[in-house]
Amino acid sequence: MAVQIRSVRQSKRFQAMKLLRYHRDRSVDMHINVTALVDMMTVLVIFLLMQFNVSGQILFISKDLRVPKAVHVLEIAKGPLIALTRAGDLYFEGQLTKTKLTAPTAANRWEIAELADALRASHMSDVVNVQIDQNVDYSLIKRVLHTCESAGYRRIHLSVGDGRQDRKI
């Protein structure tokens, strides 16, 4: 069926507004080419779908942080993020909390005061996500985990890399 152009506009109010100038040889109806509009909307929808993250990835691993890889992994839960680098720098939610973290001795305690204060202030859930470089000394890891537990976080999730792609079948 072909498109038919009406000779008279249905709305008299539209004609009264005089948005369009009347000419004897021109119609009052406006013809809009919607092809470009549909094309643009399609591009926008495809772009937004590509940017939408279905898995809800929460963690962003820094390029200088090399986390260990694991084959059997679970999805992480939403919670505060703690990162410990090879140099001993401790980050809480992306902000540098403590530099040059050292192993506990008789002079210092197991608990890291700066991290404990930040964890208690942001107590949003009972889960905390920890990213630790694979070359960090175990005593530093133990200090971080002890601090998380003493601040009230009982569920500590260690973030690891996806080792399933490296596995040979």
Residues in the chain: 169
What is d(CA 80, CA 147) in angstroms, rounded to the nearest whole number? 13
Neighbours of 134 (CB within 10 A): 12
pLDDT at position 45, please?
Answer: 92
Residues 76 and 36 in one domain: no
Same domain membership, residue 90 and residue 34: no
In a domain, 92, yes or no: yes
Is 56 part of a structural domain of the chain?
no
DSSP state of 97: E
> pLDDT tens-digit profile of 49-75?
887 766 555 556 666 677 777 777 777
Specify if 60 maps to a domain.
Answer: no
Domain of residue 143, residue span: 69-162
Number of Cβ atoms within 10 Å of the Cβ of 83: 25
| pTM, entire model | 0.58
Same domain, 102 and 26: no
Same domain for 145 and 74, yes or no, is yes
Same domain, 136 and 76: yes
> How does pLDDT run across 103-140, given as a tens digit for each residue?
877 666 888 889 889 998 887 778 899 988 888 888 88
Q: For residue 29, is it within any domain?
A: yes
Indicate whether 80 and 158 sit together in one domain: yes
